[in-house]
Structure 1
């Protein structure tokens, strides 16, 4: 019999990881060819079959391939992961990347099938959206209708989401309202948090996920159904690949406070995503229910395991340190 901990290990599917270049543009032809509106990293099962689709949005100034190990873990459990590179550098306004992410979602129906392994088919009756850090904010923005998309939303997962550098300094467009249950996303929501994200790396370095604009406030404002899991001893970028090269990769190690080795946190985030998707997309709740009942099955210590069910009060608890 499957146990809740199974989702924290790689699944039964082999996986493929491929890059898809964006459609070429010119002054005379704003978009030409059949490529997507942004470069994509695609992780998919290599076994023939039809699989649900998850769009994953990278964090601030990160590269999409910094999450390749995370994406392949989720894909090994029977999901197709689409990770667009929304920008190279960007200012505080997220409007452009919200619109770009919506354009990628709209491209999926006509363009995705030709970019997948042979006999691997996407199920596009609905799409799930996930994102890390600023990408988590963008995921919420899409769920709340800041940009219209052609596909309905199946589920939303925000990994240590951030909306600005501190309360009162949210980046436009602001998502947080500081009102309970005000974020009424038309799909179930999971918010994954980190215990060290709100802790500065040093005296002169601000935290990467400041208190008041990060995971706890996002969950507080989520309407049901929603859940909230927090990895106590890990930091804001600890779910990324073991090796992140280049200047941006060095920043992921140097700027945010870390819990050390990334593998346990990455296994936790990937497994939590799988458990949530299995329940709300595949209709198989046993893995998420197992984590809810036995948080100790996670490969990290959880300081919060909270569930807000539709029509009920919050269940779960803040766990002792």
Structure 2
């Protein structure tokens, strides 16, 4: 049996990375896409990944390929180039992409004999994209596919409590976010440091506190808000406090996503249970490993700094 640490390594599949352009045809996507997929023939679950504020989808290409190498098709739309305060347009654009997937538009953009399993879809997102993922899951945008799982990577709901981007998602009541699927929230220890790219009160800790079960929360102590991105991301790299080399953080986030999807989408809990029992297998130091199981309040372990 594979050990828990294996999930943080590249998976057994080779991967392809394809750009799919928006066009005015009935079969084209409503937004440009970056699609990471296994190269081996087979049918694979689909994950929609939503980029952070003013970021490009290709900033996450290595992270997406890590997830794809473990047997998932990852679809990352470019929701906008520039955007204002309100996230409503992004929510509806992401919903439109999911509807396009349901209509069978993805198949022509995949390697030969690779098929998407669209009985349900998982949604993930980083930063503001994590907030948009929550908004979709909570019904702020109508989609035609059931939700299998939700993964928010250092989600942010505005500049500070009381200064949330519309529509506000956080309610400041414990277990008030009743997402109709299991939720993973991944956080960073440096995200709230100056400049605070993930300010306290509107970031990962509050999102997790408000999640109803089942949910889990993993925090990388020594890494910042954009450290799961590729090494080359233009000006985005210097905007947030960083923990240094990004490769360990990419491996951690990609592996944590895979472990969660393996449990809740594929029915194989070994990797996630392994991280829960032995947090030291992660390639980064974790300052929080918390799980909220069905029928219980939050429990877990806060690891020493």
Checking the alignment, whether the CA contact within 8 Å between 1:62 and 1:248 is kept in structure 2 is no
- After superposition, the Cα gap between the structure-2 partners of 1:151 and 1:249, relative to the gap in structure 1 and judged at 3 Å, is farther
Alignment counterpart, residue 76 of structure 2, candidates 62, 83, 107: 83
* Structure 1: gaps (5+ residues): 28-34, 197-201, 251-255
- Which of 36, 42, 45 is equivalent to 1:43? 36
Aligned to 1:248, the other structure's residue is in SS state: helix
Is 1:63 aligned with 2:56? yes
User: What is the rounded CA distance, in whole Å, between the counterparts of 2:12 and 2:94 in structure 1?
Assistant: 30
1:43-77 CA-to-partner distances (Å, cap 9, x unmatched) read 00000000000000000000000000000000000
Describe the shift of the 1:5–1:279 C-alpha distance in structure 2 as closer, same or farther (beyond 3 A): same
Question: Can you list the C-alpha shifts for 1:96-147, whole angstroms capped at 9, x where unaligned?
Answer: 0000000000000220111111100000000000000000000000000001
- Deviation, structure 1 residue 315: 2.7
Deviations 1:251-308 (CA, angstroms, capped at 9, x unpaired)? xxxxx00000000000000000000000000000000000000000000000000000
Question: Distance in 2 between the 1:204 and 1:288 partners?
Answer: 29
Q: What is the alpha-carbon root mean square deviation over aligned residues?
A: 2.1
Partner of 1:99: 92
Q: How far does the alpha carbon of each residue in 1:64-96 deviate from its partner, in whole angstroms, 9 at most, with x for none?
A: 000000000000000000000000000010000
How many angstroms apart in 2 are the aligned matches of 1:11 and 1:19? 22
Cα deviation 1:193-248 (Å, max 9, x = unaligned) = 0000xxxxx99954000000000000000000000000000000000001113678
CA shift for structure 1 position 25 = 7.7
Contact kept, 8 Å, 1:192 with 1:230, in 2: the verdict is yes
Distance 1:168 1:157, change over 3 A: same
Q: Is the 8 A contact 2:21 2:29 kept in 1?
A: yes
**Structure 1 residues 22 and 249, CA gap change in structure 2 (3 angstroms):** farther
TM-score by length of 1: 0.92
Write out per-residue CA displacement over residues 170-215 of structure 1, whole angstroms, 9 at most, x where no aligned residue.
010000000000000000000000000xxxxx99954000000000
Q: Check 1:296–1:101 CA distance in 2 against 1; reply closer, same or farther (3 A cut).
A: same
**Post-superposition CA distance 1:21-43 (Å, at most 9, x none):** 0122899xxxxxxx000000000
TM-score by length of 2: 0.96
